[in-house]
Amino acid sequence: MPVVKSLRAIGHKGVNAVWRTGYAARFLLLTLLYSGTSFRRFHLTVREIFSSGVMSLIIIVVAGMFVGMVLGLQGYETLKRYGSESALGSLVALSLVRELGPVLAALLFASRAGSAMTAEIGLMKATEQLSAMEMMAVNPIARVVAPRFWAGVISMPLLSALFSAMGVFGGFVVGVVLIGVDEGSFWSQMQSAVDFQHDILNGVIKSVVFGVAVTAISLFEGYDAPPTAEGVSGATTRTVVQSSLAILILDFILTAFMFRGD
């Protein structure tokens, strides 16, 4: 009976999805529970900050610079029509600090560092390194997973701040140095438009949330990957897709709470 068969397939998928969600939640909880080691032996976390944060620096800095430059160009072209080129500074800074900085930095981080985390842990599992650790009474979540998690959570806001700062600099280079918008009004309009609590702090909160989401998804996908070459490659793809979607959806939710109304 094809109807029963398709119903059964739907049921199977549903049960699987619920099971995976629960497993992921349990995994995240265990990571938080066993994260004492990553602070007591902080060099484990430092090593991971190096491989996820420091190695993402170049892509973040270059991307931030160019995004800021494009914002400068496009913003100038649009604002020129209304004769308010002097508002270029506030346009560039607000869009970077509120949205583009946290979101684009998180997307780049997911594809640069998140995929690497998934592949690394997936391969560790496939080559039974994680089981070997368990045999030696070393908790793989405390030794391998938690330091990577905290490294991601620490790196993400720093990367996003760097992205925004580089973007503002890029906007400054294009707007003031190349096009010739008045420098004084560029900075003063920016300062009067950008509020520390409302804009910058909310941007930092966003990037911390994205950091938690991206690293949690990457680590879980790696830990849960089928121990085959195909399984690891599939998990890496899922990491990038799911964390990108998670970033954009979370961004909408956070924006709706932070910037609604006034």
190 binds other proteins (CB under 8 A): yes
192 binds other proteins (CB under 8 A): yes
161, 217, 232, 247: which one contacts other proteins (CB under 8 A)? 161
232 binds other proteins (CB under 8 A): no
157, 170, 175, 211: which one contacts other proteins (CB under 8 A)? 157
- Nearest approach in angstroms of CB 226 to other proteins is 32
Q: How many residues bind other proteins (CB under 8 A)?
A: 33
Q: Which stretch binds other proteins (CB under 8 A): 30-38, 139-147, 197-205, 215-223?
A: 197-205
- Sites for other proteins among residues 13-72 (CB under 8 A): 43, 46-47, 49-50, 53-54, 57
117 binds other proteins (CB under 8 A): no
Q: Which stretch binds other proteins (CB under 8 A): 1-9, 126-134, 151-159, 243-251?
A: 151-159
CA angle 203, 206, 210 (to 5 degrees): 140
Instruction: Tell me the C-alpha distance between 7 and 180, whole Å.
Output: 65
Shorter beta-carbon distance to other proteins: residue 31 or 155: 155
Output the six-digit token pair for 153: 């959570």
Shorter beta-carbon distance to other proteins: residue 128 or 183: 183
**What sign for the dihedral angle of Cα 225, 226, 232, 233?**
negative
Instruction: Tell me the C-alpha distance between 57 and 156, whole Å.
Output: 11
Binding string to other proteins for residues 66 to 105, with x set by CB under 8 A, is what?
---------------------------x---x--------
Q: Which stretch binds other proteins (CB under 8 A): 17-25, 65-73, 123-131, 165-173?
A: 165-173
What are the DSSP calls for the chain, one per residue?
-HHHHHHHHHHHHHHHHHHHHHHHHHHHHHHHHTTHHHHHTHHHHHHHHHHHTGGGHHHHHHHHHHHHHHHHHHHHHHHHHTT-GGGHHHHHHHHIIIIIHHHHHHHHHIIIIIHHHHHHHHHHHHTTHHHHHHHTT--HIIIIIHHHHHHHHHHHHHHHHHHHHHHHHHHHIIIIIII---HHHHHHHHHHH--IIIIIIHHHHHHHHHHHHHHHHHHHHHHHS-SSHHHHHHHHHHHHHHHHHHHHHHHHHHHHHHSS--
Instruction: Tell me the C-alpha distance between 77 and 182, whole Å.
Output: 15
Shorter beta-carbon distance to other proteins: residue 134 or 183: 183
Shorter beta-carbon distance to other proteins: residue 5 or 196: 196
196 binds other proteins (CB under 8 A): yes
106 binds other proteins (CB under 8 A): no
204 binds other proteins (CB under 8 A): yes
Residues at the site binding other proteins, with contacts judged by CB under 8 A? 43, 46-47, 49-50, 53-54, 57, 93, 97, 154-155, 157-159, 161-162, 164-166, 168, 187, 190-192, 194-196, 198-200, 204, 262
